[in-house]
Amino acid sequence: MRRRRYLSWLLPASILALTLGVVGGIAWLTSRLVDAEEIGDGHITAGRPCTATVRSVTVTNVTFDNDNVYQVDLHVQPDDGSPGYDATVRDTLTSAQAAAVHPGATFRCVTDHDDPTNIEVVWIE
């Protein structure tokens, strides 16, 4: 009888641990997928045109639709003559786009009027 009393908590504890593990895994996976879509194509419709110069490129460990997600550090120079600034974007790049993105490369871009850190880069024209 005494032995059963000590084991009575084992089944509920293991069910709780399994449930927390599954829920945590789903939450982690969802956060990674949402993070991959931080800046997508076509979200800025009437922004400020600019030129972005690549400072550095880092491959993340995330893929989305069979394309890798890259973190690209940029120097953004607005076309209206306002001062340039540094920004970081995370975007999915195809293999052709990734081959063209390297430090020193320049690309056309558009920034949001309200949030200049929200940048859409035209990786290949």
Digit-coded pLDDT (tens) for 84-108: 999 999 998 988 888 999 999 999 9
Cα separation values, 41 from 3, 9, 22, 119, Å:
62, 52, 32, 10
Backbone angles phi, psi at 100, to 5 degrees: -85, -15
Does residue 82 belong to any structural domain of this protein? yes
- Which of 60, 62, 57 lies closest to 32, judged by CA? 62
pTM: 0.61
Structural domain boundaries enclosing 24: 2-36
Domain count, the chain: 2
**74 contacts: CB under 8 Å, gap ≥ 6:** 52, 53, 54, 55, 86, 87, 88, 89, 109, 119, 121
Residues 24 and 55 in one domain: no
The string of pLDDT tens digits covering residues 36-54 is 444 445 566 678 899 999 9
> Do 71 and 22 belong to one domain?
no
Helix, strand, or coil (residue 77): strand
Q: Are residues 54 and 30 in the same domain?
A: no
